[in-house]
Chains A and B, each alone.
Chain A
Amino acid sequence: MLAYALLAGVIFGLYFSLVGMGLNLVFGVMRIVNLAHGDVLMLGAFAAFWLFNLLGLPPLAAAPIVFVVAVAIGWPLYFLFVPRLLRARDPEMLSIIFFFGLSQVVVALATIAFGTNERSIPGRVLGSGPVHILGQSYPAAWVVSGAVSAAAVVLVTLYLYRTRLGTTTRAVMVHREEALATGIDVHRVSAIAFGVGLGLAAVAGVFAPFMMGSVRPAMGADINITSFTVIVIGSLGNPLGTVLGGIVYGIALMVMQSYFSSWANLLPYLLLIGILLIRPTGLLGRTLRHA
């Protein structure tokens, strides 16, 4: 059972990496806390649900569409709101309040539009039958979701470490003032990172029906807790630390569900409190810069 839990933990860990990646990218570049992150994921999930049910579009085809749409929405949204937040005396706190409000609006509108019923997409659309890995059997939907998450993580790594835009994005993460002084168009770089952050959340949403069983308009709050746990474990402001955080969280969750299932729902909170008390900079231990 332990081997099954550990491998399932890695699969879910890769997915949780994707869930937290966008939030951490946005925080890393802009030092703002997007509390509507979970709601963007929820919108991605509903987009996948409706694209499948209305157009018969499978999630693997929906994912790139949802990503592009989220990036396209994120770009103007950034210029509409974020520069104003960044000009505030305490942008981190103001962003928490602002995005909390935005989150409430999104949930209310989604509830009006979609109702409160839980929705799901049949797992078989991502492959039928179990997939055997190292002698263990897992639903194909889990494995495909984990593989897509791993691919997304690789693409984000390539974007950050192998492109000029990615290098300037990391420069903004390292020192925003120095980036400005060097002539980096910080708002352009940030707007792209904001759009990509929303896009990653939306893509994670596409696979939420398979990894979380079902989707509903109010799921964003739970997603936020999971995302914060994952990125705090890895390292706040370090998108690649999210991968480590995701896998640690995924394995811990699966082991808990296997051996202490009734306690599993407490796990995000316990991990969050534990890591903040023991190692507040996260396992990768990056020192935070201040906004």
Chain B
Amino acid sequence: MTTELLRATGLEAGYGRVQVLWGAGLAVGDGETVVLLGPNGAGKTTLLKVLMGLLPAWRGEVRFAERDVTPLRTDHRVRAGIAYMSEIGCFPGMTVDENIRIGGQFVPSARLKARMSELYALFPAIAERRDTLAGSLSGGQRKMVGIAKALASQPRLLIMDEPSAGLSPRLVKEVIQVLDQLGSDGLSLLIAEQNVNFLNLADRVYTLDGGRIGFEGSVAAMHDDDALRRAYFGLK
């Protein structure tokens, strides 16, 4: 792993009295793409929410760029350089342009204008529909809006919750291509997914099940593990 950008250790969290995470931890290096793989209900969203400060950690620590961000609110974590794309990804009742502006809320006005031009160049399909309500776009375009919104803050790390959710296989492929390009440009990515196609992007993989990290390593190492191969790739 390259220089460490994010490290979470011993995270325990949940909702009310129901504990979901049991000592989960992971790390993302600078410029690295990490995929967090797990089935529905494994605790992926909960883990990401704790990383973003949307849910308090009962125990454990989150460090970003060598700084303890565990007590920080979400807006402070975003200012520090972490962006989060939830499964919803964007504000459906607002235009594409407004969505991206909100994503860049902490960027000075003059800089934001230039940033938006860069993002529209990266996503020409949504550039043509910048005054359209995000909710009226296709599923794939909405994902692009979500990614553009997250990138507007010029993050060092982009955390994504199931970017394939609700997309057809063709659109999933498009999203993977975009993320591949972002990764090649040096952006650090942490992608929570249950779609194994995203492993093509991964420098490293974590598996999460029952709120615990099971496996940590490369995709090749995952293929070498019989149990994981059966569980995630359906191979014998």
Residues of A within 8 A of B (CB): 164, 167-168, 170-171, 174-175, 177-185
Contacts and interface: CB of A to CB of B under 8 A. Distances in A.
B40 interface: no
Contacts of A168: 102, 105
24 contacts: A164-B101, A164-B105, A167-B94, A168-B102, A170-B93, A170-B94, A174-B92, A174-B94, A175-B91, A177-B86, A177-B88, A178-B86, A178-B88, A178-B89, A178-B91, A180-B74, A181-B74, A181-B84, A182-B78, A183-B74, A183-B77, A183-B78, A183-B83, A185-B73
Contacts of A181: 52, 54, 74, 84, 86
A171 B91 contact: yes
A171 B102 contact: yes
Contacts of A170: 93-94, 98
Interface residues of B, number: 26
Contact of A180 (B54, B101, B102): B54
B75 interface: yes
B207 interface: no
Nearest to B101: A167
Given A171-B91, A174-B91, A184 B86 contact: no
B142 interface: no
Contacts of B92: 174-175
B90 interface: yes
Contacts of A171: 91, 94, 98, 102
Contacts of A177: 86, 88
A178 B86 CA distance: 7
Contacts of B52: 181
Given A167-B101, A174-B94, A182 B149 contact: yes
Contacts of B105: 164, 168, 182-184
B156 to A, nearest CB: 14
A174 B133 CA distance: 12
A167 B98 contact: yes
Contacts of B89: 178
Contacts of B75: 183-185
Contacts of A179: 91
B82 to A, nearest CB: 9
Nearest to A187: B73
Contacts of A184: 75, 102, 105
A164 B74 CA distance: 19
